[in-house]
Amino acid sequence: MLKITVDENIADAVETFSQFGEVELLSGRLITRNKLLTTDILIIRSVTKINKDLLTNTPVKFVGTATIGTDHIDSEYLKSNKIAFVDAKGCNANAVVEYVFTAITEIINQQKLDFKDLTLGVIGIGNIGGKVVKLGKALGMKVLLNDPPLKRLTKSDEFIELKDLLKKCDIITLHVPLNLTGIDKTLHLLDYEKLSLIRDKAIIINSSRGNVIDNNALEELIDKKSFTVVLDVWENEPSINLFLLRKVNIATPHVAGYSYEGKVNGTKMIYDALCNFLGVKSLWQPKFLPVENHGINIETDYQLEEMLNKIFSKVYKIKNDDDEMKKMLTMNQEVPAKHFDALRKNYPLRREFSNYTVKFYGQNANLIEILKSFRFNVDTIFNS
């Protein structure tokens, strides 16, 4: 019988992986080499660093990460030791996109801004960034793109230099992997110099990796430049910069992709890959929970920005996450870091927009098109 060690934050882990043997759930930060001395299969999330120190002299022969990022994985070590590896790219892309636009609509309503007057800069045009681009355009924003690898690949003029994007955009959102070295290094992609290029009063959103922004530099500049900042990812998680936390407009504990669907999709992708690795039939199918009270009634005599803010916030109350996160500011010593991890472990059920139907009177073709682009169902049968 195989021994499978699984991060306790992975959805439906026991039900799913017990098909293969004995399942042990552990906190991702407590997965150590001593815990793996009898483990054959290891399934983790981003907080567990996969490297020689963790795996040497263990029987682990398959590693799966139920995340889209792989900067916590020493892929060369796995390859050289013939340890199979799979990630879950794309599993929670919709959840992250919904996080980004929920934050945007919250902020532009606070600041009384209009979509049509704003320029959105998207850094990294992959699975998530590409969706952000389409939705930004659907909302009437001018959208600028930066992605050096894609520019080299496509030779397309639609990609501009990072410095130009930073100078021209009202909203900047990051969707890049963490690359520590090389031509496409993203470690401190936004350092003091780059952050200084961003126009005053800009909105900065990071839901990619914490080390992509120099947090100390951001903390120094945030007031000088009157930035409005949304951070889901932080340097040195869970022991983050509390001085920066105090200044951030919306702060969350690395949960942008933590929708129920995103988590289950990640589990399913790792499960299918493990079945393929072991040469067994895939038997488990996720049974998605139904959504209760999934109808959203909305009056259409508001501005588009206000309507979307009301709709999005009925699905995902992002300010609740911010309130819980900022409780760290009143805690002493090591308690904030424990609180950060506890928020992730005990994260409440969050469903994606596709589970909800927006109902309203009258015909509003522009609103219907926008809502459908965000994957909402729309019901206008109660026409007056």
Same domain, 222 and 239: yes
Same domain, 246 and 97: yes
CATH number for position 266: 3.40.50.720
Q: What is the pLDDT of residues 2-22, one digit of tens each?
A: 999 999 999 999 999 999 999
User: Domain for residue 327, yes or no?
Assistant: no
Q: Is the pLDDT of residue 383 over 80?
A: no
Of 231 and 364, more confident: 231
Q: What is the pLDDT of residues 201-243, one digit of tens each?
A: 999 999 999 999 999 999 999 999 999 999 999 999 999 999 9
pLDDT of 361 reads 84
Same domain, 113 and 237: yes
pLDDT band at 281 (very low <50, low <70, confident <90, very high): very high
**Residues acting as catalytic residues:** 209, 237, 254
User: Domain for residue 345, yes or no?
Assistant: no
Same domain, 131 and 168: yes
Of 334 and 246, more confident: 246
> For the chain, how many structural domains are there in total?
3
Same domain, 105 and 125: yes
User: Domain for residue 319, yes or no?
Assistant: no
Q: Is the pLDDT of residue 292 over 80?
A: no
pLDDT of 375 reads 97
pLDDT of 99 reads 98
Same domain, 35 and 65: yes
State the average pLDDT over residues 64-76: 93
For residue 50, give its domain range. Answer: 2-87+259-278
Same domain, 162 and 104: yes
pLDDT of 289 reads 76
Same domain, 199 and 111: yes
pLDDT over 70, % of the chain: 98
Same domain, 23 and 80: yes
pLDDT band at 300 (very low <50, low <70, confident <90, very high): confident
Same domain, 31 and 135: no
User: Domain for residue 176, yes or no?
Assistant: yes
Same domain, 243 and 228: yes
Which position has the token pair 């090591």? 334
pLDDT of 101 reads 98
